[in-house]
């Protein structure tokens, strides 16, 4: 059946307005950041027509919603089960306030950070997200080009819709590779070798997707999409691997599961011995595991609940960050993601001891809304907001941030 954009949108809006998920599914009009009354004003306003019209990153989300068919939009929006964690990731920032210092000549602000010997102009990292062509035909390549003007670190997903070679080229600089290690060591080893050959200095092993998940919003939005998922998504692991550019040339003999329920510290150690790349674990959520990462010789951690897409723990990553920072004691790199939407969110995490901050959905909103220029504008807004948050805090360089700049309500 041909894709009728207006019909799809009508159904999506109908579903959204009737859904009990609506008040907390992460949609812009329900986000805790929108000051009172603005939601009503926004409802009356037109959607932004071009990236330059955006006032904050949330402005891209309704345009994404207009452009992207319901099933794909649902894949992006969805959390897990009742989406407690999705709500918590945003709401938790309200528990922390900044303590700005004055009279500290902030006429020049240096936002740069160093990660594994490479200097980046800001700590804002582009998180790995799978299948970006579901949102825009240029997918991850458009994301890479959008990340270029701000020279952001980009982490590419194993299940990206463009290959690590292609995206590295589009980005014009080395990127990091995110690994779904699968159930089969030999497949993980080959994927890591491929990333290393493509020039990736770091592999981020995702450790928080070990079981199935019930993405309720995704499942419901699939039902209002008039297209048939099975027309494009064929069942079976071989069919899936065939569609993934990063799997090209990988021998998948023995592969039974693309998730890694059998992964343990020994698996990670064995993998580390196959590569010269630095190893970062993505999805660590406790001080205990952070301490184990240090004792197992891991190079870094991404404190992440996968944007509330792993388990519905109910715990926001900004709440987790202090115990991880405490456990790692500055010995390894700590990045945090999940729910970051504002420069002040980033400032809070940097003050609490993060080395960098990842964003996921905001750049996908930009991508679905306008492609590369949308991604570029989302990242520019975040850079501008973070620069202002630093200057207003009286901080001239990121290393001047200390926990004294933030307090818990
Ligand atoms: C649509 C979507 C796809 C994702 N795909 C992956 C993935 O393939 N690998 C991975 O490690 N994390 C994946 N993530 C998680 C992100 O890397 C990141 O942890 C999360 O998006 C950060 O939260 P935020 O979206 O609230 O900014 C995905 C997230 C989204 C929204």
Rounded to whole angstroms, the Cα distance separating 128 from 115 reads 17
Rounded to whole angstroms, the Cα distance separating 23 from 19 reads 9
Rounded to whole angstroms, the Cα distance separating 165 from 167 reads 6
Lowest mean pLDDT among 7-21, 35-49, 239-253, 302-316: 7-21
Q: To which H or E segment does residue 279 belong?
A: strand 278-284
Q: To which H or E segment does residue 205 belong?
A: strand 202-206
β-pairing, 356-359 vs 124-126, is parallel
In the DSSP assignment, the letter for residue 149 is: T
Lowest mean pLDDT among 31-40, 228-237, 266-275, 316-325: 31-40
pLDDT of residue 13: 62
Residue 257 has pLDDT above 80, yes or no: yes
* CB of 341 shorter than 6 A to ligand 1: no
3 pLDDT band, cuts 50/70/90, is very low
Lowest mean pLDDT among 37-46, 131-140, 251-260: 37-46
Distance of alpha carbon 20 from the chain centroid: 25
Rounded to whole angstroms, the Cα distance separating 38 from 312 reads 30
pLDDT of residue 120: 98
Tell which atom from ligand 1 comes closest to the C-alpha of 204: 11
Q: What is the CA radius of gyration of the chain?
A: 20
Tell which atom from ligand 1 comes closest to the C-alpha of 341: 27
Q: What percent of the chain has pLDDT over 70?
A: 89
* CB of 21 shorter than 6 A to ligand 1: no
Average pLDDT over every residue of 135-154: 98
Average pLDDT over every residue of 173-177: 99
* CB of 157 shorter than 6 A to ligand 1: yes
pLDDT of residue 138: 98
1 pLDDT band, cuts 50/70/90, is very low
Residue 316 has pLDDT above 50, yes or no: yes
Q: Is the dihedral of CA 396, 398, 399, 403 positive or negative?
A: positive
In the DSSP assignment, the letter for residue 397 is: B
Q: pTM value?
A: 0.93
238 pLDDT band, cuts 50/70/90, is very high
136 is an active site residue: no
Rounded to whole angstroms, the Cα distance separating 26 from 380 reads 21
Residue 24 has pLDDT above 50, yes or no: no
* CB of 161 shorter than 6 A to ligand 1: no
Question: Over the chain, what is the mean pLDDT?
Answer: 92
Tell which atom from ligand 1 comes closest to the C-alpha of 339: 26
Rounded to whole angstroms, the Cα distance separating 370 from 390 reads 29
Lowest mean pLDDT among 18-32, 349-363, 375-389: 18-32
Rounded to whole angstroms, the Cα distance separating 406 from 8 reads 44
Q: How far is the CA of 307 from the centre of ligand 1 (A)?
A: 6
Q: Between 347 and 10, where is the model more confident?
A: 347
pLDDT of residue 319: 98
Q: What percent of the chain has pLDDT over 90?
A: 89
User: What are the b/e assignments for 179-208, b being 16+ CB within 10 Å?
Assistant: bbbbbbbebbbbbbebbbebebbbbbbbbb
pLDDT of residue 29: 44
Query: Which residue has its alpha carbon closest to ligand 1 atom 15?
Result: 306
Instruction: Return the HEC string of 54-72.
Output: CCCHHHHHHHHHHHCCHHH
Residue 216 has pLDDT above 70, yes or no: yes
* CB of 206 shorter than 6 A to ligand 1: yes
The answer to whether the CB of 220 falls within 8 A of the CB of 76 is: no
pLDDT of residue 46: 78
């Amino acid at each position: 059946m041909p894709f009728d954009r207006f019909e799809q949108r009508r159904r999506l809006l109908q579903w959204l307005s009737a859904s009990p998920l609506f008040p907390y599914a992460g949609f812009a009009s329900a986000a805790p950041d929108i000051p009172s009354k603005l939601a009503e004003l926004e409802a009356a306003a037109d959607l932004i027509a071009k990236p330059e019209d955006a006032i904050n990153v949330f402005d891209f989300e309704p345009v994404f919603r207009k452009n992207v068919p319901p099933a794909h939009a649902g894949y992006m929006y969805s959390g897990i089960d009742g989406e407690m964690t999705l709500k918590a990731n945003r709401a938790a920032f309200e528990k922390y306030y900044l303590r700005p210092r004055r009279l500290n000549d902030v006429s020049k602000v240096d936002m740069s950070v160093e990660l594994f010997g490479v200097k980046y102009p800001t700590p804002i990292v582009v998180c790995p997200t799978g299948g970006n062509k579901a949102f825009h035909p240029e997918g991850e390549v458009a994301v890479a080009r959008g990340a270029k003007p701000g020279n952001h670190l980009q982490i590419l997903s194993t299940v990206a819709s463009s290959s690590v070679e292609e995206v590295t080229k589009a980005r014009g600089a080395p990127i990091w590779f995110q690994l779904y290690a699968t159930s089969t060591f030999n497949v993980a080893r080959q994927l890591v070798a491929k990333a290393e050959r493509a020039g990736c200095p770091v592999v981020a092993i995702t450790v928080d997707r070990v079981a199935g998940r019930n993405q309720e919003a995704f499942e419901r939005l699939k039902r209002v999409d008039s297209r048939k998922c099975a027309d494009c998504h064929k069942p079976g692991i071989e069919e899936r691997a065939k569609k993934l550019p990063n799997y090209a040339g990988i021998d998948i003999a023995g592969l039974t599961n693309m998730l890694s329920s059998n992964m343990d510290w020994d698996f990670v150690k064995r993998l580390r011995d196959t590569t010269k790349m630095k190893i970062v674990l993505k999805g660590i959520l406790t001080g205990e595991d952070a301490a184990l990462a240090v004792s197992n010789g891991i190079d870094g951690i991404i404190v992440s609940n996968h944007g509330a897409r792993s388990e519905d723990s109910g715990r926001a990553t900004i709440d987790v960050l202090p115990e991880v920072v405490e456990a790692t004691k500055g010995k390894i790199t700590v990045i945090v993601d999940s729910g970051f939407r504002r420069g002040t969110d980033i400032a809070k995490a940097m003050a609490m001891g993060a080395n960098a901050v990842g964003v996921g959905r905001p750049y996908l909103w930009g991508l679905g809304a306008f492609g590369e220029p949308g991604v570029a504008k989302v990242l520019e807004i975040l850079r501008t907001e973070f620069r202002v948050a630093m200057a207003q805090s009286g901080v001239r360089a990121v290393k001047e941030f200390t926990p004294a700049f933030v307090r818990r309500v």
